[in-house]
Every structure is written in structure tokens, then in C-alpha cells.
């Protein structure tokens, strides 16, 4: 376990360094390419209830995706991370403006306040069809390196127990986040698909 932890830590550092070297313009360009790929994806087209992350600076930009979800009349859920634990809920949003008025967390991302009880949690109602996954690193076989808190792994475990079952998962990745192989253990949930810009 200690060896695995050390390997993950070293890889996190390396990926953070690679992503930090990418310009803002290039991050935006890749993000728009991925958004267009996603919009044509059959799982995205057919899904009704979708969870999407509000991006941090070193993650694929999701604003265009969020706009598109609302434009198509799909239900949009975003994460609320509990900083003291690895618990996360996916809460329903009403519009992009709704998201833009949420309080900022210490990670500088917007999420509903912890005492905001008015919002529908995805698993309390109809579950989710699709989750767009953030992460620090990914490999082509669907292994994911998160930030070490286990939010998504824990949430996917809850999804699996929901009557609807596990949603389809698509990770959004900059090319710089792709690795040969991510070291994983039994608690790491594999992702169905990693979306990145391939050089075609």
C-alpha cells in the first residue's frame, strides 16, 4: 500500500507539472475540441440526467458543456464536496447563472453551500445516466488518478447500490494528463471511457 501511495504521489506531481506548462489558450482549445466530441457522443445525446464537474484551473473547461446541457433541456447536477470527509453529493442546478452565483470553495470552485438543503440530490431521486469525471491523470484503459480524497470512487459505490445502477462514466482529459499506466488498487473504480484530443 505504501509503495502504491508513493507511486501515485510521484505521478500526481509529474502530471501537475506537465499541465501547469500548458498555456491558458491551449487548455481552452483542447476543452472546446473535447466539448464538440462529447456533444456527438451517443451516451451524451441519449442521457437525460448528467453530472458534470465545475473545473479547477488544471482541468478541462466545462462551461460550454454546462451551457449545452441546459440548452438541450437535460438535468444538470454538479458536485458538492464535503471538505472534512470523502463524501460528495451531486446536486441539481437550474441554469448556468444558478451555478455562477454559488459560493466559492477554498479550491476556488463554485458549489452549493453545505447548509443549502433545497436542491435535489441525484441519488435521492432518479439517479444519473452519465457522469463526466475530473481527475489528475488517466490511462487509455480507463484507470484514473484522482487527487487522493476518493470523492468519486465513494460516490460511484453509492451509484452502484442505486436501483438505476452505475451511470456511464466519461473522463475529460487534456493530452498532457494521459499516462502509460496509472497505478491502482481495488478501491479505484475504472472509467468507461477517457475523452481526449487524439491526433487524427
Q: Is the pLDDT of residue 186 over 90?
A: no
User: Phi and psi for 176 in degrees, rounded to 5?
Assistant: -70, -10
Q: What would the pLDDT profile of 59-103 be if each residue is shown by its tens digit?
A: 999 999 999 999 999 999 999 998 888 899 999 999 999 999 999
* Alpha-carbon dihedral sign for residues 130, 183, 84, 165: positive
Q: Taking residues 4-29, what's their average pLDDT?
A: 96
Alpha helix positions (H), 21-150: 24-40, 42-46, 63-71, 96-100
Q: Is the pLDDT of residue 184 over 90?
A: no
- DSSP string of 81-114, one letter each residue: E-TTSS-EEEEEES-HHHHHTSPB-TTS-B---T
Q: Taking residues 170-188, what's their average pLDDT?
A: 92
What was the pLDDT predicted at 1?
81
Q: Which residue has the cell 462514466?
A: 169
Q: What would the pLDDT profile of 104-154 be if each residue is shown by its tens digit?
A: 988 889 999 988 889 999 999 999 999 999 999 999 999 999 988 889 999
Q: Taking residues 15-42, what's their average pLDDT?
A: 97
Kindly state whether residue 14 falls inside one of the protein's structural domains: yes
Kindly state whether residue 54 falls inside one of the protein's structural domains: yes
What was the pLDDT predicted at 200?
47
Kindly state whether residue 47 falls inside one of the protein's structural domains: yes
What was the pLDDT predicted at 199?
59
Q: Taking residues 17-43, what's their average pLDDT?
A: 98
Kindly state whether residue 200 falls inside one of the protein's structural domains: no
Kindly state whether residue 59 falls inside one of the protein's structural domains: yes
Kindly state whether residue 65 falls inside one of the protein's structural domains: yes
Residue with the larger pLDDT of the pair 39 and 117: 39
Kindly state whether residue 62 falls inside one of the protein's structural domains: yes
Q: Which residue has the cell 481526449?
A: 196
Out of 20-24, 38-42, 104-108, pick the least confident. Answer: 104-108
Residue span of the structural domain in which 85 resides: 2-195
Kindly state whether residue 102 falls inside one of the protein's structural domains: yes
Domain total of the chain: 1
Q: What is the CATH number for 130?
A: 3.40.50.10420
Amino acid at each position: 500500500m505504501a509503495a502504491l501511495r508513493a507511486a501515485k504521489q510521484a505521478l500526481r506531481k509529474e502530471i501537475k507539472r506537465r499541465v501547469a506548462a500548458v498555456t491558458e489558450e491551449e487548455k481552452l482549445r483542447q476543452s472546446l475540441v473535447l466539448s464538440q466530441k462529447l456533444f456527438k457522443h451517443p451516451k451524451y445525446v441519449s442521457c437525460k440526467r448528467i453530472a458534470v464537474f465545475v473545473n479547477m484551473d488544471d482541468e478541462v473547461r466545462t462551461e460550454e458543456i454546462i451551457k449545452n446541457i441546459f440548452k438541450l433541456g437535460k438535468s444538470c447536477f454538479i458536485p458538492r464536496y464535503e471538505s472534512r470527509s470523502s463524501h460528495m453529493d451531486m446536486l441539481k442546478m437550474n441554469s448556468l447563472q444558478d451555478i455562477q452565483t454559488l459560493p466559492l470553495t477554498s479550491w476556488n470552485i463554485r458549489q452549493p453551500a453545505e447548509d443549502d438543503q433545497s436542491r435535489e440530490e441525484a441519488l435521492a431521486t432518479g439517479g444519473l445516466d452519465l457522469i463526466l469525471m475530473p481527475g489528475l491523470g488517466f490511462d487509455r484503459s480507463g484507470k484514473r488518478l484522482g487527487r487522493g480524497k476518493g470523492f468519486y470512487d465513494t460516490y460511484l459505490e453509492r451509484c452502484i447500490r442505486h436501483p438505476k445502477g452505475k451511470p456511464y462514466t466519461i473522463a475529460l482529459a487534456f493530452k498532457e494528463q494521459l499516462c502509460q499506466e496509472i497505478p491502482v488498487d481495488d478501491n479505484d473504480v475504472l472509467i468507461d471511457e477517457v475523452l481526449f484530443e487524439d491526433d487524427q
